[in-house]
Amino acid sequence: MSTPAARAEVLRAQLDEHNHRYYVLDDPSISDAEYDRLFAELQAIETAHPELLRPDSPTQRVGGAPLREFAEVRHRLPMQSLRKCNDEDELRDFDRRVCETLAISEAGYTGEPKLDGLAVSLIYEQGRLIRGATRGDGETGEDITENLRTIRSIPLQLRGAVPPLLEVRGEVYLPWDGFRRMVEEATARGEKVPVNPRNAAAGSLRQLDPRITAQRPLAFTAYAVGYSEGWQAPRLHSEALEQLRVWGFPVSRLVERLVGVEGCLRYFEKIGARRAQLGFDIDGVVFKLDDLAGREELGSVTREPRWACAYKFAAEEAETLLEKVEFQVGRTGALTPVARLKPVFVGGATVSNATLHNMDEVERKDVRVGDTVIVRRAGDVIPEVLGVRLPDEAARLAHEARPRIELVPACPVCGGKVERVEGEVIARCTNGLSCRAQLHGALIHFVGRKAMDIEGLGEKLLAQLIDTGRVASAADIYTLTVEELAGLERMGEKSAANVVEAIARSKQSSFQRFLFALGCPQIGETTARDLARHFGSLEALYAAAAADAPTEHDAALKDKDRFPLLRAVPDVGPTVAAHAVHFFTEPRNRAVIAALVAAGIEWPAPKAAAQGVLTGKTLVITGSLPGGVSREQATALIEAQGGKVSGSVSKNTDFVLAGEAAGSKLAKAEKLGVPVLDWAALQRLLEPAA
């Protein structure tokens, strides 16, 4: 008779094996009843001997205790996105660039389905799942380990020989049968029905209660190895995918090795033809350079690697009746004509509103109320009206008899004057934050997850606070009290206290979040980050905006000579600079910012750039470095010594760090006479002088 510990061990191994056969290989070898029996036996042992319970036990997939919030996780390597190719020409451009950079005549790629779900990162230590996170903004995601543990096709324990540290990346998605089940259940319970599998998967993963996630039939497919330690990566990505299978991960059976752009085009056709029979949503295919050393050579541009691309299927279209056109006012005052449609099912969801973008588009398409229009919806993109459908002369005559759609003279929300600046396509309400719609939009943006992240202060609550006159600017949020909030509709003592607590918590922020939250037109998350990094403080940003503020004599300047201080920020061009200068010199905005800072919003002071033997030097890395040293690790080392790493070689490059199989960058360095170091030479340079 074995001990309970030994028996539990055996049962766990058997259940893992059957799970793997069922969810990964799709080849079960025992009946469901037999599986349930083994499962119940393990559960009984773990209940009687709680000390034997481990987080990676197969019984733990039912979901543990609910969380209050998700913790943030910084990805060791950024989770990048994919460059999109919309047609054959763009795909050929992509391939040409790959071949030219690598100086080869034909490239080998993998073709993979582009699964329509959510990217996740899974971290394994000594083969055990210890953390799982969402992609987030690519640099930081949310810790959703407990939810991911409930997904049966994610191994909790890897098989065979594994490296001490391994990150695996892949997609979590909801297959169609699971989605149908969710829709049926939600309908039966009278709950909100999810619009498409992707949204349903996203909602399921972001549940604070893992027991709910456990009931959702989510699936996982691995598509890459991320960070690793103690693992000698193979030469090819396709070999890495094979290795992932050996470790126990589900890898798509649709993955193929392809030769050249012609191979890619054939693959695209083939997968497109099978799309309806797959049983899950894909929105295109992904092509990735198979050769891993070549990827290093190609590098990345603005979060997109040059070695991969997504070739998307054409968006779906449908016809329906245009019932009316209304104007929506956004947070910057922009008036967007919105088509109210007879509901129609397209691109995986029922659509009853679609954007008409702006008045130029309305005129160009000449859609009129009562027309039959063509609507397009692709993935998560806002549905749009493409144009009118006039199949015959009668339809054309009816169309001609209807009045054209005109821009409203006054803001539909506040009655303010609507202006369309010469040369601009966008019409705006000129009332600024005195317009309720603009204030509401600005505040929704301000409290958003990527901005000040004030949970519980939702659209409806903000609307009440605006309508009662209690909140007239973002700064007023910081004066709200529990008593005041508790008195509002649908708010109890408890939720009011939670909101006030969330407001207080938001005061510990970061400069980049704060800049983004302010909602200056054209300043999105990335630009906010770049501004924060470049200027480091509000004072420095104000000084630059003041110095760059246009004077009369500027009118004579060429575009490229305007706003020199703001344009010194990476990726900031004349439009962004003009908006930033206007926004940060505007007295009303300055007053709100001052009030926010006075309310206690603060962020850590910027870290001074490291100083060291490489201070002021720019390096370029090329080829693969010895001992599996990644490019990110080498970059960190160089930056710690005050150096900068750049992507391309120019006459301003001080050194090129060259590894194995270095290609065109090394050639260029030699041509320009830039000194070349190998890894050992860099090490010697960094050694403290004896």
Positions that interact with ligand IVH (CB under 6 A): 80-82, 112, 114-115, 119, 135, 171, 223-224, 286, 305, 308, 310
- Please report how close the Cβ of residue 303 comes to ligand IVH at its closest, in angstroms: 9
Q: How far is the CB of 114 from ligand IVH (least distance, A)?
A: 4
562, 550 in Cβ contact below 8 A? yes
**CA angle, corner 249, sides to 246 and 253, nearest 5?**
90
DSSP letter at 624? Answer: B
* Shortest Cβ 251–ligand IVH spacing (Å): 10
Q: Which is nearer to ligand IVH, 256 or 453 (CB)?
A: 256
Tokens describing residue 585: 């010199």
**Rounded least distance, CB 250 to ligand IVH, Å:** 12
Q: Which of 284, 341, 358, 359 is nearest to 316 (CA)?
A: 284
Nearest residue (CB) to ligand IVH, 141 versus 248: 141
Quick one: DSSP state of residue 382? Answer: P
Q: Which is nearer to ligand IVH, 311 or 514 (CB)?
A: 311
- Secondary structure element (H or E) that encloses residue 124, with its range: strand 118-125
Best CA proximity match to 667, nearest among 644, 647, 649: 649
C-alpha dist (Å) from residue 113 to 175, 205, 247, 264, 572: 14, 21, 21, 12, 35
Phi-psi region of 279 (alpha: psi -120 to 50; beta: other; left: phi over 0): left
CB of 138 to ligand IVH, least distance (A): 8
Task: Give Dmax over CA atoms of the chain in angstroms.
Answer: 94
- As measured in angstroms, the least distance from the Cβ of 271 to ligand IVH is 11
The least distance separating ligand IVH from the CB of residue 310, rounded to whole angstroms, comes to 6
Quickly count: other Cβ atoms within 10 Å of residue 240's Cβ. 22
Q: Other CB atoms closer than 10 Å to residue 189's CB: what's the count?
A: 8
Nearer to ligand IVH, 58 or 170 (CB): 170
Q: Which amino acid is at 591?
A: A
Q: Which residues are catalytic?
A: 114
Closer residue to ligand IVH, CB minimum distance, 224 or 454: 224
Whichever of 274 and 324 has its CB closer to ligand IVH, that residue is 274
For 143, the 3-state DSSP assignment is strand
Long-range contacts of 538-541 (CB under 8 A, 24+ apart): 538/511, 538/593, 538/597, 541/515, 541/584
Dist CA 142 CA 538 (whole Å): 28
Shortest CB 98 distance to ligand IVH, Å: 14
Q: How far apart are CA 73 and CA 143, in angstroms?
A: 6
| Distance in Å, CB of 386 to ligand IVH, minimum | 24
CB–CB of 143/69 below 8 Å?
no
Cα 269 from Cα 332, distance rounded (Å) = 43
Q: Which is nearer to ligand IVH, 222 or 374 (CB)?
A: 222
User: Cα torsion at 468, 474, 475, 479 (round to 10°)?
Assistant: 50
- Residue 81 or 430 with smaller CB distance to ligand IVH: 81
Q: Residue 597: what are its φ and ψ, rounded to 5°?
A: -65, -40
Phi, psi of 89 (to 5 degrees): -60, -45
Strand partners, 72: 142
Residue 76: Cβ within 10 Å count: 16
The Cα 637–Cα 345 span in angstroms is 53
Which residue lies nearest ligand IVH, judged by its C-beta? 119
Cβ closer to ligand IVH: 117 or 416? 117
Distance between CA atoms of residues 333 and 623, nearest Å: 50
CB of 70 to ligand IVH, least distance (A): 18
Helices (H), 248-345: 260-274, 292-298
Report yes or no: 154 and 129 within 8 Å, Cβ to Cβ.
Answer: yes
Residue 523's CB is within 10 A of a number of other CB atoms, namely: 20
For residue 15 the two structure tokens come to: 């259940």
CB of 259 to ligand IVH, least distance (A): 19
Whose Cβ is closer to ligand IVH: residue 367's or residue 378's?
Answer: 378
Residue 502 near residue 485 (C-beta atoms within 8 A): no
Closest distance to ligand IVH from the beta carbon of 406 (Å): 40
Amino acid residing at 103: A
Q: Which is nearer to ligand IVH, 98 or 341 (CB)?
A: 98
Give the rounded distance of the alpha carbon of 372 from its chain centre. 35
Q: What share of the chain is helix, strand, coil (3-state, %, to 5)?
A: 40, 20, 35
Q: Are the C-beta atoms of residues 349 and 195 closer than 8 Å to each other?
A: yes
CA distance 494 to 491: 8
In terms of CB distance, is 80 or 215 closer to ligand IVH? 80
